[in-house]
Amino acid sequence: MNRLILLFLPPFLSLTLIGCGVDEAAQNHSSFAKMQVPDEFAEYWFAGEAELNSYKLDIMRYGEKRTGHAVNVFVTEDLSHEKQVKLDNPSESPNDRVPVLKLNQLYKFETGIYDYSMMSSVFTPINFRQDPHSLKTTCSVQDWCGQTFTQLNREKKNYRFRQYSYFESEGDVDKSIRPEMLEDEIWNRLRIDPNSIPEGEVLLFPGNFFLRLSHEDTKPRAARIQFEASEATGECIIEYLHLDRTLRIHFQSSFPHRILSWTVVQGKQQMVNATLLESLKSPYWNKHDNKHAFLRDSLKLN
């Protein structure tokens, strides 16, 4: 399959970086100003704004289809390599700073009288050739029965996995797991450089939402990754060999490779279908007053 039709972003993040200019808008995001990346990438991701994407969500739960909405928030930030939290003053910790692309993915939907709220966060180094594994993921799931929380942190040789749940069978867990690629980081890798995602058979941690709703153990599983390409769009297809589960992520061929939709099929049942409603760039963390509520209309979230 010829991926060059759609996956054109060069491997600019190797250790021998090719120098490219960063314009004045990108300089406003000062902690990233010295990163040598293509102008197009810098202008889009280093300008001090997040990309907000809303989706119509159809999801199967308790054997019935539910309708709600999903939100993908992509934003660059500086993470502490040691503490794996966002640095308050990156310039004061240049040796600890890791520029990452963060995805906050949220699902909200109703099940009868009560509702679900789910959020997964994944922090993927922009220079993935120097840092090949995402540094951290977290996931929380809340419904009227209770809540669960999981966290995966990259250590020197392993991931440290912690889980807290109101289910007795899941209980409190703290263990080490060998590091493999994460399904949840593929979304970020598509945005940074789709060519960075290997095709063929791999070991892959299934997505946090699937693991929590199915109460599956968190561990790498055998999967097959392939791409289908066209001039305008591409599709990343992840098929698990022993879970009978397939994730298809449909995205724009051209930069910035915006996520257009995704589906999850288990067996013969479509479990998830999400379709893009609206997308906008915004420093949303400054838009928290009542006067900014109209922006939810812009994302078709009301």
Q: What is the mean pLDDT of the chain?
A: 89
The region of weakest confidence among 9-18, 27-36, 78-87, 124-133 is 9-18
Cβ proximity of 104 and 63 under 8 Å: no
Question: Is the pLDDT assigned to residue 26 strictly greater than 50?
Answer: no
**pLDDT tens digit sequence for 246-289:** 999 999 999 999 999 999 999 999 999 999 999 999 999 999 99
Residue 8 confidence class, pLDDT cut points 50, 70, 90: very low
Alpha carbon distance 19, 4 (integer Å): 23
Q: What is the reported pLDDT for 111?
A: 97
Q: What is the tally of structural domains in the chain?
A: 1
The model's pTM is 0.89
CA-derived radius of gyration, the chain: 19
Cβ proximity of 55 and 70 under 8 Å: yes
Amino acid code (one letter) for 57: L
Question: Is the pLDDT assigned to residue 33 strictly greater than 70?
Answer: no
Q: What is the reported pLDDT for 34?
A: 55
Alpha carbon distance 185, 134 (integer Å): 7
Cβ proximity of 152 and 174 under 8 Å: no
Alpha carbon distance 300, 171 (integer Å): 38
Q: Which domain, by its residues, includes 218?
A: 3-298
- 149-152: long-range contacts at Cβ-Cβ below 8 A with a sequence spacing of 24 or more? 150/208, 150/211, 150/212, 150/218, 152/177, 152/182, 152/205, 152/218
**Mean pLDDT, to the nearest integer, of 137-152?**
96
Q: What is the reported pLDDT for 55?
A: 98
Question: Is the pLDDT assigned to residue 20 strictly greater than 50?
Answer: no
**Mean pLDDT, to the nearest integer, of 75-83?**
94
**Cβ-based neighbours of 288, under 8 Å, separated by 6 or more:** none
Closest CA to 11 of 196, 179, 144, 173: 196
Percent of the chain with pLDDT over 90: 79
